[in-house]
């Protein structure tokens, strides 16, 4: 998104390599070339302002987001094991019954191996020490991050973390529970048909070793009692078989001809540049699924649907503040793609205008079409907000205020990793440009943001 700069990329990874050093490596150059093919396949000019550095930004994000392939758990754990006399061999007693150590609410992100889109992870890790040693608590989150920074599915990620900790610190048992959230992006046709499209696909998975290997173990009771999450329990930890059939929304689509073989070859090149074999069973259909998703943002005939309404005065069915004649349409769905990182963002659009005329029931669907028209393109939120305002202005009388509230997956995948962060932008025209009271009254009509 336009409001973010690149400053946080100048960091050093655990092996001493700066992210800036990625820029001239062959893998980075290969990803850049592949991204240019994808942009050209969307009908974009790779040299236009806003896209010139997109291939490099995408390459940096992908390489940083999959750095776990080059990290070694043993390097993290060694030197972080500390003697603790309260821990007896094989019993796991560390100053109290059971000796459970639990780290809750670790925020991670990973890239879905089925579609290459990032997903959010809320990770909870617990272990019972043994052998008169405990591990530094920060190392639990660092080990989890190593495996999150790979192409993953939720159950495999939980298993990887669990197995690595079991081998790395040799405890009495390890328990890992993940709550994962994957964006459920509609295709362009369903977006027009479904006003309440499901935004996220959520799943809870778990993995256990040692004394946690059996779900009947009393140690799991202690684990969930300390976790204190009402929606997370043994009952909703799903098996691998169920996860495979229901996790990534793209898995419901059959792999078939996308009509864009050059773009699929480019995605396969990206996978290969990340050190993975695109012929691996889990990755065989990934280029096809990613290209089909990306083609939602190719230039389309949406504009033809708007032309017929361009000169028709429009009144809407939204809320009205009769004192100031401020009307509104709120909670219009938004789906779009960040042109700086080729990652999706989604949210809500609220439109306010000043009018004393009667209302007409056809309005909201047209406004939603305008939002989709501008949304299903490569965008930045600031520009998108202004474009919506300028498009509806001749239809609604010129006194316009548009508020866009959105969640950006690029904010998660580029290292911020703070779930719940979102961005609000405003565009004002006409009276709203100088009337602070009118702006305040419209903003009070918008409900609390919740996605």
Which whole number is the average pLDDT over 7-32? 64
Work out the angle at residue 117's Cα, subtended by the Cα atoms of residues 115 and 122, and round it to the nearest 5 degrees.
120
pLDDT score, position 185: 83
| N-terminal to C-terminal alpha carbon distance within the chain | 19
10-24, 68-82, 107-121: segment of lowest average pLDDT: 10-24
Which whole number is the average pLDDT over 17-43? 85
User: Does domain 302-444 bear CATH number 3.30.1130.10?
Assistant: yes
71-80, 81-90, 100-109, 367-376: segment of lowest average pLDDT: 81-90
Instruction: Reply yes or no on whether the pLDDT at 314 is more than 60.
Output: no
Distance CA 163, CA 209 (A): 7
Instruction: Reply yes or no on whether the pLDDT at 168 is more than 70.
Output: yes
What is the 3-state composition of the chain as percent helix, strand, coil, each rounded to the nearest 5? Answer: 40, 25, 35
Which whole number is the average pLDDT over 306-329? 56
Which whole number is the average pLDDT over 420-431? 89
pLDDT score, position 400: 95
180-194, 301-315, 388-402, 417-431: segment of lowest average pLDDT: 301-315
Distance CA 207, CA 215 (A): 9
Confidence of residue 249 (pLDDT cuts 50, 70, 90): confident
Residue 82 parent element (H or E): strand 81-83
pLDDT score, position 229: 73
Which whole number is the average pLDDT over 263-277? 96
Confidence of residue 14 (pLDDT cuts 50, 70, 90): very low
pLDDT score, position 192: 66
Distance CA 394, CA 315 (A): 12
320-324 LR contacts (CB < 8 Å, sep 24+):
320/359, 321/441, 321/442, 321/445, 324/354, 324/437, 324/438, 324/441
Instruction: Reply yes or no on whether the pLDDT at 12 is more than 70.
Output: no
Let me know if the fold of 66-252 is the same as that of 302-444.
Answer: yes
Question: H-type helices in 274-348, by residue range?
Answer: 286-294, 302-307
Residue 110 parent element (H or E): strand 101-112
Confidence of residue 421 (pLDDT cuts 50, 70, 90): confident
Instruction: Reply yes or no on whether the pLDDT at 82 is more than 90.
Output: no
- State what percent of residues in the chain have pLDDT above 70: 75
Residue 435 has phi, psi (to 5 degrees) of -95, 95
Encode 352-376 in three state secondary structure. Answer: EEECCCCCCCCHHHHHHHHHHHHHC
Number of helices (H), then strands (E), in the chain: 15, 13
DSSP assigned state of 170: -
User: What residues does 207 pair with on adjacent strands?
Assistant: 176
Confidence of residue 88 (pLDDT cuts 50, 70, 90): low
pLDDT score, position 286: 94
What average pLDDT does the chain have? 81
| Helix axes 154-169 and 137-148, enclosed angle (nearest 10) | 140
Instruction: Reply yes or no on whether the pLDDT at 299 is more than 70.
Output: no
pLDDT score, position 243: 47
What would the pLDDT profile of 93-145 be if each residue is shown by its tens digit? Answer: 544 445 889 999 999 999 999 999 999 999 999 999 887 678 888 889 999 99
CATH topology of domain 66-252: GTP Cyclohydrolase I, domain 2 (3.30.1130)
pLDDT score, position 32: 97
pLDDT score, position 9: 35
Q: How many other CB atoms are there within 10 angstroms of residue 389's CB atom?
A: 23
pLDDT score, position 333: 92
SS3 377: coil
The residue that leads in pLDDT, 151 or 395, is 151
Going from N- to C-terminal start, the domains of the chain cover: 1-63+254-296, 66-252, 302-444
DSSP assigned state of 447: P
**293 within 8 A of 260, measured Cβ to Cβ:** no
Instruction: Reply yes or no on whether the pLDDT at 300 is more than 80.
Output: no
| Helix axes 363-375 and 381-396, enclosed angle (nearest 10) | 150
The residue that leads in pLDDT, 371 or 256, is 371
């Amino acid at each position: 998104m336009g409001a973010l700069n690149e400053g946080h990329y100048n960091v050093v990874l655990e092996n001493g390599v700066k992210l800036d050093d990625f820029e001239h490596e062959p893998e980075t150059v290969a990803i850049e070339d592949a991204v240019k093919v994808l942009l050209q396949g969307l009908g974009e000019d790779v040299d236009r302002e806003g896209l010139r550095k997109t291939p490099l930004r995408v390459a940096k994000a992908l390489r940083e987001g999959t750095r776990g392939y080059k990290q070694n758990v043993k390097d993290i754990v060694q030197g972080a094991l500390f003697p603790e006399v309260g821990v007896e061999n094989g019993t796991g007693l560390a100053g109290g019954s059971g000796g459970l150590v639990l780290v809750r609410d670790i925020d991670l992100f990973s890239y879905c191996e089925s579609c290459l889109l990032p997903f959010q992870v809320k990770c909870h890790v617990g272990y019972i020490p043994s052998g008169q040693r405990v591990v530094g608590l920060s190392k639990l989150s660092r080990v989890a991050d190593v495996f999150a920074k790979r192409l993953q599915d939720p159950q495999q990620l939980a298993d990887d973390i669990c197995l690595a900790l079991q081998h790395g610190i040799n405890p009495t048992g390890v328990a890992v529970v993940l709550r994962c959230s994957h964006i459920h992006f509609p295709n362009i046709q369903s977006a027009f048909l479904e006003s309440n499209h499901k935004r996220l696909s959520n799943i809870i998975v778990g993995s256990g070793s040692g004394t946690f290997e059996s779900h009947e173990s009393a140690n799991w009771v202690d684990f969930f009692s300390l976790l204190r999450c009402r929606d997370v329990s043994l009952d909703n930890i799903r098996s691998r078989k169920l996860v495979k059939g229901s996790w990534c929304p793209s898995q419901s689509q059959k792999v078939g001809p996308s009509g864009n073989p050059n773009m699929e070859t480019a995605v396969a090149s990206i996978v290969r540049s990340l050190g993975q074999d695109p012929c691996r069973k889990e990755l065989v259909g990934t280029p096809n699924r990613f290209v089909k998703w990306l083609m939602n943002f190719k230039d389309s005939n949406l504009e033809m649907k708007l032309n017929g309404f361009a000169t028709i005065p429009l009144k809407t069915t939204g809320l009205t503040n009769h004192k100031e004649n401020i009307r509104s349409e709120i909670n219009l769905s938004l789906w779009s793609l960040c042109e700086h990182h080729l990652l999706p963002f989604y949210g809500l659009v609220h439109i306010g205008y000043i009018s004393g005329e009667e209302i007409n029931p056809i309005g909201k669907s047209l406004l939603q079409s305008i939002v989709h028209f501008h949304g299903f393109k490569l965008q930045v939120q600031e520009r998108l907000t202004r474009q919506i305002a300028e498009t509806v202005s001749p239809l609604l009388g010129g006194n316009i205020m548009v508020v866009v509230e959105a969640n950006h997956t690029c904010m998660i995948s580029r290292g911020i990793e703070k779930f719940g962060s979102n961005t609000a932008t405003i565009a004002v025209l006409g009276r709203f440009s100088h009337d602070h009271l009118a702006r305040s009254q419209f903003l009070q009509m918008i409900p609390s943001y919740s996605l």
